[in-house]
Amino acid sequence: MSDNCQILKGWDPQTDLLDGRGQHMRAAIYARVSTEDQAKEGFSIAAQSKRLNAYCKARGWGLAGEYVDDGYSGREIKRPAYQRMMAERDKWDVMVVLKMDRIHRNSRNFAVMMDNLRDWGKEFNSMQESFDTTTAIGRFVMDTIQRIAQLESEQIGERVKMGMTQKAKKGNGYLGFGEPYGYDYSDKKLSMKDEEAAVVREIFITYLVGASLQEIVDGLNARNIPAKKGGAWTKEAIANILRNPLYCGYVHWDGILRKGQHLPVITVDQFNSAQIESRLRARKEPRVDNLVHVGLSEVVHG
């Protein structure tokens, strides 16, 4: 008998399937029902479990575990049984569901899950849609779905960028994400936080009189002055403040600089001086494309 031939006791070639390693496939059955599904025929936990168990038996897959989330939405990933199934992935080879929407109702979450399963060497099978990554056609379908999800994500990103660019050109408020240090952001407007604004002024002034980024960091942390979200100050945080034209009253997006509708913390001269100082310390020629040019144009493209 060839060395490559294996004898598996109790294996029936008519009913038992093997994975690529010549081992019995171990199936993790996942069933879910949300409150909105309760009244729908065929979506009960008992009905899903019965059909999935019968399906795995017909495929010759051993049952490694049964995971049930009762009353949880498919749009959420923080489901106890789902999380436990992922944590116990060493116990199973293929995840089996009745329908794809039982595992995820969000295409992006589904794509992330499929990426993880591929990295872990696991398979996925959706009984009703015949979506089965243990087969070549199933893997092809999975790849197509993931490419569509990637295209959707990129198109969303392009639309967001276009919208932000239009907003920058029209000058309709703040263009960033979250609250910048020194300001509150509410009702689509920035309002100054006096205590944090005073720290920003100190950062600019201290830097302009010769202090290094590390010296500024050490001084603020020694006085227990909290950075954004209450954390400790870092050189990167200081550098980000020093090069942000927001603090002299301007908003910047993708090469567009426009006068903002918020109160400035420092003057334009102070901001420009900090940019020149930064270039000089880096032993580079001062540039004009990162300065705020007041009076040249209401909108500056740089």
Q: What is the set of active-site residues?
A: 34
Short-list 181, 185, 208, CA closest to 197? 181
Residues 6+ apart with CB under 8 A from 195: none
H helices present in the chain, as ranges: 45-59, 80-87, 100-103, 107-120, 136-170, 194-208, 213-222, 235-242, 268-281
- Long-range (24+ apart) CB contacts under 8 A made by 208-216 are 208/270, 208/273, 208/274, 208/277, 213/238, 213/239
Short-list 26, 97, 32, 100, CA closest to 65? 26
Task: Give the bridge partners for 113, in sequence order.
Answer: none
